[in-house]
Amino acid sequence: MGVVTTMGVCLLTTIVILGAVIGGANGDAMVSGSVFCDRCKDGQLSLFDFPLAGIKVSIACPGQDGQMKVISEETTNWIGNYVMRFDGAPDMSACRAQVFGDGQGCRVVSGPTQSLNLVFQMFDTEIYTVNHLLSQPAQPMSNCPLSSSPLPKPVTPTVPPPTNRAPAPQPPKLPPQPRLPPMPPVPFLEASACSYRMWMMPEHECYWRVLSPDLKVAFVFGPVAGQKYGNDITLRGSMSGRGDPYKTLLRESTTALLNSYNSIQFPYHPLDVVGHFNSALMGGSTRQVLMTALRFLRANSGNPGNVTCKFTTCK
């Protein structure tokens, strides 16, 4: 009981000191969000969509004349995220975020705007989040699911009464057609989960389509990973770690990230892999690190569903 009381007093003291320090400084506001390509043009975020890197996002707020005016612009990073900071903690409740520009073949004609949601406010500091911004290509993807909206009732044309005519001659019967081989599956749409050993084989190097094996871990997973593992280790180097919980976490996280880009049916989205990885590192618990690594290991092994690795030898 004494320990809990002491911890509570220390926490309260820390908050009071922090409040005094921040209270004497100028406040600021931060806005963050993500941009995705709406490949099916259905206005919703689905498994077919992917984050857009290198696309511009603007924040517009009403001016004194009531007209919306762009006050800041930012470009999304490689996982489609953006962050903007504003001095003085202005009231941004009436501001809107919007995508503009072209991004990775997902052409933006007029991206829909999204409002800013205030999620934190203390000591003249405000944090806003924006719902996912969507940009759309010129045409929807061909294999999108059908819309659930009802189709219009077909109009039955008026057919004139039949007249007595001689029966039309029957065409000769054609010989039976040979059975064609089945269409090969689309690799990205096919369920596949491969272990780190499969990814490390030279004959499977062509499957590193999205992420290069020479990319730095700190660049892919962020600064927290750079502080833990250093700024020089590559994705290829991260796959050889074993015998340590943190090395195992990095190995299985890298494998899960590769699998998430290789198959749309992989249990984790790329953003989820990066998020769970960083949460485990910042949690400070070895148990959390091991549990996260174990979850990724199960997914990389094809669980649930007993999914196999669909790799074939690269040509």
- Specify the higher pLDDT residue, 119 or 298: 298
State the chain's mean pLDDT as an integer: 77
Q: Are residues 135 and 99 in contact, defined by beta-carbon separation less than 8 angstroms?
A: yes
Q: What is the pLDDT of residues 19-59, one digit of tens each?
A: 433 444 455 788 888 888 888 888 877 767 778 778 889 99
The 3-state DSSP class for residue 97 equals strand
User: Which tokens in the block code for residue 295?
Assistant: 């979850």
Q: Which residues pair with 99 in a beta bridge?
A: 57
**Domain boundaries of the chain, sorted by first residue:** 27-135, 187-300
The 3-state DSSP class for residue 99 equals strand
Q: Are residues 62 and 68 in contact, defined by beta-carbon separation less than 8 angstroms?
A: yes
Percent of the chain's residues with pLDDT above 90: 24
Q: Are residues 193 and 301 in contact, defined by beta-carbon separation less than 8 angstroms?
A: yes
Sign of CA dihedral 229, 204, 266, 145: positive
Q: What is the pLDDT of residues 167-225, one digit of tens each?
A: 666 666 655 644 444 444 445 678 899 999 999 999 999 999 888 899 999 888 888 88
- Quick one: pLDDT at residue 257? 92
Residue among 31, 8, 12 nearest 20 (CA): 12
Architecture of the domain spanning 27-135: Sandwich (2.60)
Look up the pTM and report it: 0.46
Which residues have a Cβ under 8 Å from the Cβ of 297 and sit 6 or more positions away?
248, 252
How distant is the alpha carbon of residue 238 from its chain centre?
Answer: 22
Query: Which one-letter amino acid corresponds to residue 149?
Result: S
Alpha-carbon separation of residue 253 from 163, 192, 203, 209, 276 (angstroms): 73, 16, 22, 17, 9
